[in-house]
Copies of this chain bind each other. A is one copy, B any other.
Amino acid sequence: MVCQYGEQLEKLVKEAEPYAAEGKVADYIPALAKADQGILAVSIFDGKETCFSAGHSTEMFTLQSISKVLTLALALMDHGEEVVFDKVGMEPTGDPYNSIAKLESLVAKPLNPMINAGALAVSHLIKGESTEERLERLLQLIRKMCARPSVTYNREVAQSEFNTADLNRSLAFFMKQHRIIDENVDQLLDFYTKQCAIEVDCDDLARIGFVLANGGKNEEGEEIIPFEIARLVKTFMVTCGMYNSSGEFAIRVGIPAKSGVSGGIVGAVPNNIGIGIYGPALDEKGNSVAGMKLLEALSSYYHLSIF
């Protein structure tokens, strides 16, 4: 077990922290821009206790793209693989996460659920009579994973994201034209931006990662996500979880992980631990610079690579 080497972990965090200076906080909405560039926080959960947390590990941040893995899990629980993968592919892509060009060349079906187009198509599938009901269902899932009933979303962030989501609207209308989605685009965007604005801290992420690592069960053995879906989600985290750095990340780190532009990263080491990281300074691909460095150090020191 990892936790007994607490001092070593602290040391790894200190070594990774300075890399934050090489990154840049996301600034396309004010709520993200005001994050503290220098922060690096981490929590690790092994199913018994949060055995380590460094830095501002109780700082709240929004899930952003990390929500994509959770919405995917819920959509698969709602509909099964056949329906979901009729709307979205399974292949990684060398294109940026917000690319629209590939949609045009490939019969309009997004290549995978981790790029924006694919995530919109997946969100579209979430069951519920209203945005509120769909969001509540997603929140219920996340609250169970986090074992924290108070998880909710940040209204200010959601509103800001909604107001600046023109590229996502463009992707959504393109898919509506090609019948990948058939609901009102602004309704879908409302749901999508709210799910991106769900707030967590590093402890929450570590617990989410643990459930995925642990075959979908929480530390008490309760199944929150079916085993097959938890595995499928981890696979996507490896092949396309870190935007178009996923290939390099798999080589350097080898841990199923998903990042968001808020600077969060969730990691899930199969049959082992969950990891939550927060470091808002991003590289040009949109991943936390210091967070990736820390994950690389953790993987190397504790032999966490799946390869």
Contacts and interface: CB of A to CB of B under 8 A. Distances in A.
Q: How many copies does the complex hold?
A: 4
Interface in A232-272: 232, 234-236, 238-240, 244-248, 250-251, 254, 256, 270
Interface residues of A, number: 49
A34 interface: no
A105 B93 CA distance: 14
Interface stretch (A1-9, A11-19, A94-102): A94-102
Interface of A is mostly: helix
Most interface-central of A95, A235, A238, A246 (chain B CB within 10 A)? A235
A167 interface: yes
A165 B270 CA distance: 42
A246 B91 contact: yes
B254 A231 contact: yes
Nearest to A237: B307
A89 B235 contact: no
A174 interface: yes
Given A94-B111, A112-B247, 8 more contacts: A91-B248, A93-B93, A167-B173, A169-B170, A170-B170, A173-B173, A238-B238, A256-B307
